[in-house]
Chain A
Amino acid sequence: MTESSTALCAQGAAINKTLITGVIGSDTHIVGNRILSIALEKAGFKVIALGALTPAADFVKAAIETAADAILVSSLYGLGELDCRGFREQCIEAGLDDILLYVGGNLVVGKRSWEETERTFLGMGFDRAFPPGTRTDAVVDALNRDFAARSAPTPSA
C-alpha cells in the first residue's frame, strides 16, 4: 500500500465513528480534554463529551446507548490507576467486549517511568495509553490507524 492510500484509508476510518470522551473520577481538569474533543471533532469523528467528574460507569452507559466505537478516558490528577480499575471488565459486562479503549494524562503519581505506567494500563485492558504532552494529532492518527486495522480483512478470511 502506498503512503497516500494509507492516509486515505485512515481518513475514511473517522467517518461514522463515535467516540466517548471525559475526565474520570473526582477530577475537574477539563481543559485538555476539551481541546482533545474539539480536535477529534475536527478530524471527522462524532464526539460525545461527558466532561469532568465522570464516573467510570457513565462512560460505559453512554457507549452502550450511542453504540460508540471507542472510549477515550482522561485523568490528570494522579489517581487514574484507581479510577480505571476494572474499566475493561465493566465494558465486557455491558456487552462492549471489543470497544477501543484509550487512556491519557497524568495517570499516576510518584516516580514511575512512562514505560512502566503504560504497561500497567495496557495490562488493565486499555488498547493505548498516552503520556502527558501528547499532541492531539497523535491521538487522531492512532485512532485512524486502529480503526483502519479493525476494518481491514483479516489474513485468514
Chain B
Amino acid sequence: MSAALLIDFGSTYTKLRAVDLGARRILATAQGPSTVTSDITIGLDLALAALAAKLGHLPTFAHRLASSSAAGGLRMVTIGLVKELTAEAARQAALGAGAKLVGAFAYRLTAADIGSIETLAPDIILLAGGTDGGNAEVVRHNGKRLAASGLQCPIIVACNRDVAEEVVEGLTSAAKNAVLTRNVMPAFGVLEIAPAREAIREVFIARIVHAKGIDRAAAQVDAVLMPTPAAVMEGARLLSEGTERHSGLGDLLVVDIGGATTDVHSVAVGAPRRDGVVQYGLPEPFVKRTVEGDLGMRHNARAIVQAASSSAFAVRAGLTEAELEAMLDAIEDNVERLPTSPHEVALDEALAWTAVRIAVGRHAGTSEIVQTVQGPVTMQRGKDLSGVTTVIGTGGPLAHGATPASVLKAALADATDPFSLRPVRPALYIDADYLLYAGGLLSAIDPDAAFEIARASLRPLEEREADEPRSQIA
C-alpha cells in the first residue's frame, strides 16, 4: 500500500487525512489541537496518535505534505498605483496565493502609510505599480519609502519592468529581502498574476514556514507546500479541470465558511454568456478567490447580522431581537462555542445562510443596463457565474450543519437580485470529509489519485433534501 498523509496546520486544529494512493480511498481522518504558539509538534503528535488509534497502527507514509493557516495565516500587504488597476492586480495575486490580506495600498505611500504597514507587521509585502513602460516614478518612490522603513519582511517586487531592478537594488542595499518577479499588469488591462503568486509561494516555503515555527515539524513532514487557502484553491482547480485520465467537473464554485472569514473560489472564465453584452473593468483570474473578513461564523457573527440588518436576520433565525442579542453576546464570550439548543442551531444556520448569500454576491459579477442613444446596452462587471454547473460547500458549518442544502442554496441566483450573476442551476455538493485541501496538496504528487479521492468525498445534496424545510430558517 502506498499511503499519503495530508496535514492542515490550522489556527484551531491540526487536521490529518490519511489516504491510500493505490486504492484511491481515504483511510482515516483525525485531528489534534493547534499548538503553533508553543510547539507545533505537540498538536501534530496528538493528531497522529488519534490517527494511529483509528487505524490500529500508523502506516509508512510515502508522502507527508502539509498546508498551513496557523499563526494568523500568510499575512500580506499589497501596494499598487491606481486602486482599480495595478493595486487590484496585486490584491488578486496575493489572494490567489492563499494569503490573508491585512492591508492594500495605492498611489504614493506616505509616512503614515509606512507607519500603518509597520503596525500591521505583514509576513510578505507585494509591491506593484505601473504597466511595463508605464509609470515608473510612483513605484520608485514607494520602493524608497519601504527601503527607509523599519520593515524586515520579504518584499516581492512585481512592478513596471523598466524600474523593477532598480527598486530591488534599492531595497537590497537597505538590507531588505527583496525578490524580483514579473509585473502583475504588464500591459494595460492584462492581469498576469501567476509569476507573482509563484514568488509568494516560494517565499512562503523558504522563509515564512520557518519564521512561524512550522518547520519544527520537519522530522514528521516532508514539505509544507502552501497556505491552506491555496491548497483549497488547487483542489477546486483540480476538480474543475480534471486530469489526463479524468474529465473534470467544469465551471465550479467553492464556498468555504469558517469561524473568522468566508472564502469563495470560482474556477470559470465567466465571460458574458449572451451576445452584445459589454465586459467592463479589469479581467478577473480564471481561478479567483475572494475572502470576506467580515463574514465569520464566530469571530464576526455580529457583523454578519449587521450586514443583513438585524431585524430581518432575527426573522430568518426565528428569534426575537432580544434573544438574538443575547446569543451574539454568548458567541463573543466564547468563540469556540458549538450550537446545542434548537435556537442555537437555528442561529448558526441563519448565520451560515447570510454569510454565503453576501459572500457569493460579492464574488460574482454583476450586470447593469445602461441607456444609450442606440437603446439599452447590458454591461457586465466581473465574472458571469450563471453557467456554473457545480457548487461545493466546505467548512464546519456546511459539513456538520443540519440543513447544508438550504444554506448552500443561498449561493444561487434568485429573483430578488436579478443583476447578480450567480449560478442558476448547479448541482450542489458538500465536501463531507474536508478533502479539498488534501486534494490540492496531493495534486502535485499524484493528480489522478488526488482527483478520485477528492471527487469521492463530494456528497451530493438531494433536491428532496433541499426542498424539505428541516428547521425554522429553511
Contacts and interface: CB of A to CB of B under 8 A. Distances in A.
Interface of A: 16, 18, 26-28, 46, 48, 52-53, 61-62, 64-68, 77-79
Contacts of B131: 65-66
A66 B185 CA distance: 10
A65 B85 contact: yes
A31 to B, nearest CB: 13
Interface string B371-384: 11110010100000
A65 B377 contact: no
A16 B162 CA distance: 13
B190 to A, nearest CB: 11
Of the four ranges (under 10, 10 to 19, 20 to 34, 35 or more), the interface on chain B belongs to 20 to 34
14 contacts: A18-B133, A48-B188, A61-B82, A64-B81, A64-B135, A65-B185, A66-B130, A66-B134, A66-B188, A67-B130, A67-B135, A68-B134, A77-B372, A78-B373
Contacts of B86: 65
B130 A46 contact: no
Interface string B126-141: 0000110111110000
A65 B278 contact: no
Contacts of A16: 133
Nearest to B279: A51
Nearest to A49: B188
B81 A53 contact: no
A22 B85 CA distance: 17
B373 A27 contact: yes
A91 to B, nearest CB: 14
B245 to A, nearest CB: 42
Contacts of A67: 130, 133-137
Q: What are the 7 tightest A-B residue pairs by CB atom distance, in nearest-first order?
A: A66-B134, A67-B135, A26-B372, A77-B373, A67-B134, A48-B188, A65-B85
Given A65-B86, A66-B134, A67-B136, A53 B188 contact: no
Nearest to B136: A67
A66 B130 CA distance: 6
A45 to B, nearest CB: 12
Contacts of B133: 16, 18, 46, 66-67
Nearest to A46: B133
B372 A27 contact: yes
A53 B379 contact: yes
B370 A26 contact: yes
Interface core residue of B278, B373, B377 (most chain A CB under 10 Å): B373
Contact of A28 (B85, B189, B374): B374
B188 A65 contact: yes
Contacts of A62: 85, 188-189
Contacts of A65: 81-82, 85-86, 130-131, 134-135, 185, 188
Nearest to A54: B280
Nearest to B87: A65
Contacts of B379: 53
A61 B188 CA distance: 10
A140 to B, nearest CB: 20
Interface in B73-124: 81-82, 84-86
B377 A28 contact: yes
